[in-house]
Structure 1
Amino acid sequence: MLTFQKFRGINNISNEKKKGETYLSAALDVDVGLDAELRRRRGMTLLKAGCYRQLWEGASMLLGILNGCALVRVVPDGEDVTIHPAMGTARLWCCELPDGRVIFSNGQVHGMTDGTGCSDWGVAPPDEAGSATAVAGAMPAGRYAWAITFRREADGLESQAAVGGLVEVQQAGGLLLTDLPQRAGHSLQVYLTTAGGEAFFHAGQAQGPAFSYLRDGQDLARPCRTLHLSMPPVGCLHALWGARMLVAQGRVLWASRPHGWSHFDLGRDFKQFSADITLVQPVGGGIFVGTQKELAFLAGVEFDTLVYTSLMKEPVLLGSGAAAPGRRVRRGDGAGFGRAMVCIAGGWVVAGHDDGMLEPLSEGIYRADIGAEVVAAFRTVDGVPQYEALAYEHAAV
């Protein structure tokens, strides 16, 4: 057995003479201990037989693509649960919410699961708002507008509003809405303006394809909170940042409304970059964003006032970002604090800390050349922190 007395790590940059007996060019199937000792890496244990790809493990469930098609919750000692029957072979991106539900996407189709089935991420708005007719009632005279939304009965989530036209109501009049759309598993909520007003207020819930409002309008007090909000954009690299959900879509980073993970204001809550986004890693003091051209830090705690700083003018490897405890990641001559992240930028392994500080971990010693896309994770094994990045190969269609 080969023994190293002063092993310091892996070095694929220096020539063999300079490495001496302290570095290896490569090391396969080994773990490195806290005292730089080398030991054989543990073997694999069969969890469950089957053709599984793109496994993703969260605190609440283990997901995977079975037989190149269906998204399933993997049950090691039982029958797998089908979440989506046809997710295909495109890369799977997942993000776990605080309540245990998981958002999943392949860049073209997305959804949400609690491990027992699949639901839409967000609620699609009605296709049309129906028709309005003035009738007798107690409403003040004036011009009124109406809007309708779908509210999902399973979780109370409400859609963007579909806005109707304008209708004139005479003094002591009323309003009858007809041809209202229906959707299984959803209730239809109706909103009205006050006479001549522009804001919409909740008027009631339709019990079928028709709804009438005959009151004097004094109860129109609760505003429509989803009027101009949209369903989440279909993207990748989802991440929770404070009370918002972040989604990357090409060069654009979208943010949900605060405390509204399924509602997005596409007209205002976004940041655009100069190249396609390859990394989204929130930390306590902001958000690290990697692209095909740079690694940047958006400093702050409010999305509208984030301050952009370019840290490296080098491409960030897609999928290489991994969250890590700051105390487990080097910072100068010591360790960090709070939340940190590790990624591969410009071919080097680097760490980003809570305050936006960037720490080179492998520069000049080890250069990662593992393809154009990886699957990465940060874990602790026997007290030893490990960053792992495995080359991702797209399945043949």
Structure 2
Amino acid sequence: MLNNKYKIKDSVDIYTFSTDRVDCTRVQFYKINTREKLTIEIDSSFLDVFSSMDGSLSLKDILLENKILVDTKEIEHVIEYLLDKNVIKEINSSTFISETDKQRYSRQINYFDDLIPDKEGELSQYNLMGKNIVIIGCGSVGGMIASQLVRAGVINITLIDHETIDRSSLVRHVYANEYNIGSDKVVALSEHLKKINSKANITEIKTKIIPNINLEDIVPNFTDLVINTADEPYIGHISVKLGRYLWHKNIGLYVAGGFDAHLMSSGELIYKGRTPCIDCCSNTFRHALKDWKPKYNHNSGMKDTPSTTRVDILIGGSGGTFAQSLYSSSIACMNIIDFLLRNFDGNNKINKRGEFLIERCEQTWFEMKKQKGCSNCG
């Protein structure tokens, strides 16, 4: 242990406080990402060890450089304790990604260090960069998910959509602009993603998901996750078709939100061995929402004026703002990255659909449940 190099995690701040004893200092480690605090009391001379613990010197060299004479067993005990509490990490000689990528993803790597404590953040980043994703639906939510995933380091993405960009796309589509109106959505989004990362390997498929489509033609066997954001003909029907096919392929399915009255929703993950199957999820919805109907506002009751005749029209409907799409896609990406990195421990969100109720300013979660007698779930 004395010959190893250690580093205080970049996501950890250190604060020191005096105590009643001159030779003793209270040290508080504050994890920025999780807001956890760890407080210990140690010999004051050990503060020099912490200040020198930047990963460049071995623990033995740090002790010699600072002329610290302490019991080595006591030092090892402190180091083991701080490693166990995930406030320091051992520096290995192994390198998983290039120096350029280390700089690019440095903050994300620090976050992964805290998110998955038993794995190097750099290794998590390396694993994420090797994933293969299929996104069905390149609308406001699908495009935003693609953009966020490429920024996170996912570079192998297949885009599927049959529509073109129109003027209304400028409001919510992150990749739409006045110069690509009329362009195929898959082409315009692909160009946008390659501007974020020139290494992005994007496959463009212009097609519509219809009942008799052969999914083998659009979902490669090496796919890690399919993300469904398509609301035509209906997101539920498409998800059932996808879910049944992907379940037996051991490929994950994430059902995103962003449709009709549910623009600020983000959905459930379907993955064999971890969650209920797609049929169980569909039946959960069918039973729980059998009496539910969307509520829209009408301008009925307004009086005509000499210059204007008013008729009853639907206000709202399947509309929304860029901010709502951003909210939905951001929740989706956090859950998707969790899944891609296999961060299942302590994660109880993977079989839930979340929806933000804007009129209450409240985030709600709807749990998917295995149905009795389901032959798929077992």
- Shorter-chain TM range is under 0.3
Q: Output the TM-score relative to the length of structure 1.
A: 0.26
TM score, norm. by length of structure 2: 0.27
- Structure number having the greater helix percentage: 2
Q: Which has the higher strand share?
A: 1
- The structure with higher relative contact order (CA 8 Å, sep 6+) is 2
